[in-house]
């Protein structure tokens, strides 16, 4: 009975009706954390980096009073934050992510935004540094990883920004992520993967060579996986504007076989370069993808 009260196990569309994205993300994370059977790894250290001359307005707590007394010189201690993890969340906001097969479902983009927001909040609560990249045919938003309390508001504000392109340039977004995560960390890609595979795999290989954990969440509408549509219709590619007339019953079997093949190819190709792959359907709860992100964070030494 208790598990039914966990927000991370709610129907995503029902949960989305409860409030704005920051409210939904808090519900999801609170439910997820309440359902854990083991505590997250704790730990946070601040390492001394250097001195610099005191300037009016500096916090007096960081003045080195020993140097002030000995040398009559006021200096301030500077520190380098060492968080448990630096993570960059890479979100596809291209035109194809706006699609849903029926009004009762979330669009792929809204589902992905809620997943990204919940993951960001989960990591920030564990004192990890979190950044965000949003992309379509170009990088639209780039928020460098930070572990500060204000980072949550920056992520939420970035998720509300518009996107304008049709296609997805995931390889370019991954390259941007590699520049933001300057030491070993985690990169989480959230996309419907309607892109050319080879450039993406090459970019992921580069991240793995640099020591980063990479998790790919392949977001699909249930109709994209199962093709439960009926009747005759014209099917259009939202990113290329290509349209093809077809009868659903005539193409369903071939379509389902093709989707299974594509999913398998993504899974295998990512496994070869050492990245994790998870198929996420927009009518399924957030618990599984959150667990994947949380487990990747736990693996960090």
For residues 185 and 61, state if they share a domain. no
Q: Which residue has the higher pLDDT, 152 or 83?
A: 152
Cα 11 to Cα 13: distance, rounded to the nearest angstrom? 6
Give the angle subtended at the CA of 120 by the CAs of 266 and 187, to the nearest 5°. 35
What's the pLDDT score for residue 165?
Answer: 75
Report the 10 Å Cβ neighbour count for 279. Answer: 17
For residues 27 and 54, state if they share a domain. no
* 60: confidence class by pLDDT, cuts 50, 70, 90: confident
For residues 74 and 119, state if they share a domain. no
For residues 286 and 242, state if they share a domain. yes
Cα 93 to Cα 107: distance, rounded to the nearest angstrom? 11
For residues 274 and 139, state if they share a domain. yes
Cα 82 to Cα 150: distance, rounded to the nearest angstrom? 17
Indicate the residue among 30, 53, 82 that finishes a domain.
Answer: 82
For residues 32 and 53, state if they share a domain. no
List Cα–Cα distances, 64 to 67, 72, 157, in angstroms: 6, 11, 38
The mean pLDDT value of the chain amounts to 85
For residues 56 and 159, state if they share a domain. no
What's the pLDDT score for residue 235?
Answer: 72
Indicate the residue among 54, 82, 110 that finishes a domain.
Answer: 82
For residues 142 and 276, state if they share a domain. yes
* 159: confidence class by pLDDT, cuts 50, 70, 90: very high
What's the pLDDT score for residue 83?
Answer: 54
What's the pLDDT score for residue 39?
Answer: 41
CB 23 within 8 A of CB 63: no
Cα 254 to Cα 251: distance, rounded to the nearest angstrom? 5
For residues 65 and 126, state if they share a domain. no
CB 43 within 8 A of CB 66: no
Residue 43: is its pLDDT beyond 50?
Answer: no
Residue 239: is its pLDDT beyond 70?
Answer: no
For residues 182 and 260, state if they share a domain. yes
Domain span at residue 271 reads 2-39+84-298
Share of the chain above pLDDT 70, in %: 85
Cα 253 to Cα 257: distance, rounded to the nearest angstrom? 6
What does the pLDDT look like over 240-266, one tens digit per residue?
777 778 777 777 888 889 999 999 999
Half-sphere exposure of 177 (CA within 13 A, CB side): 36
Residue 189: is its pLDDT beyond 70?
Answer: yes
For residues 205 and 277, state if they share a domain. yes
* 174: confidence class by pLDDT, cuts 50, 70, 90: very high
Q: Specify the CATH number for the domain of residue 195.
A: 3.40.50.410
For residues 170 and 205, state if they share a domain. yes
Residue 57: is its pLDDT beyond 70?
Answer: no
Question: At how many degrees (to 10) do helices 21-34 and 108-125 cross?
Answer: 60
Query: Against a cut of 0.85, is the pTM above it?
Result: no
Number of domains in the chain: 2
């Amino acid at each position: 009975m208790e598990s039914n009260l966990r927000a991370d196990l709610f129907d995503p569309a029902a949960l989305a009706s409860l409030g704005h994205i920051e409210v939904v993300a808090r519900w999801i994370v609170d439910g997820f954390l309440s359902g854990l059977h083991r505590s997250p790894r704790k730990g946070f250290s601040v390492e001394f980096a250097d001195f610099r001359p005191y300037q009016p307005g500096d916090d007096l707590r960081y003045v080195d009073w020993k140097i002030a007394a000995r040398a009559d010189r006021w200096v301030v201690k500077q520190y380098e934050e060492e968080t448990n993890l630096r993570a960059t969340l890479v979100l596809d906001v291209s035109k194809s992510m706006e699609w849903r097969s029926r009004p009762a479902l979330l669009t792929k983009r809204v589902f992905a935004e809620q997943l990204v927001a919940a993951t960001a909040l989960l990591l920030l609560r564990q004192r990890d540094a979190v950044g965000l990249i949003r992309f379509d045919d170009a990088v639209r938003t780039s928020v460098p990883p930070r572990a500060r309390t204000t980072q949550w508001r920056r992520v939420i504000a970035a998720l509300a920004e518009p996107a304008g392109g049709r296609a997805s340039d995931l390889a370019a977004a991954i390259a941007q992520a590699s520049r933001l995560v300057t030491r070993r960390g985690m990169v989480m890609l959230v996309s419907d993967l309607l892109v050319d595979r080879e450039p993406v795999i090459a970019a992921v290989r580069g991240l793995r060579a640099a020591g980063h954990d990479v998790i790919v969440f392949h977001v699909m509408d249930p109709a994209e996986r199962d093709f439960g549509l009926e009747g005759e219709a014209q099917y259009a590619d939202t990113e290329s504007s290509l349209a093809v007339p077809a009868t659903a019953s005539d193409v369903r079997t071939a379509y389902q076989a093709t989707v299974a093949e594509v999913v398998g190819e993504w899974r295998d190709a990512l496994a070869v370069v050492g990245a994790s792959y998870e198929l996420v359907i927009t009518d399924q709860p957030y618990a599984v993808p959150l667990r994947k992100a949380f487990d990747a964070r736990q693996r960090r030494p």
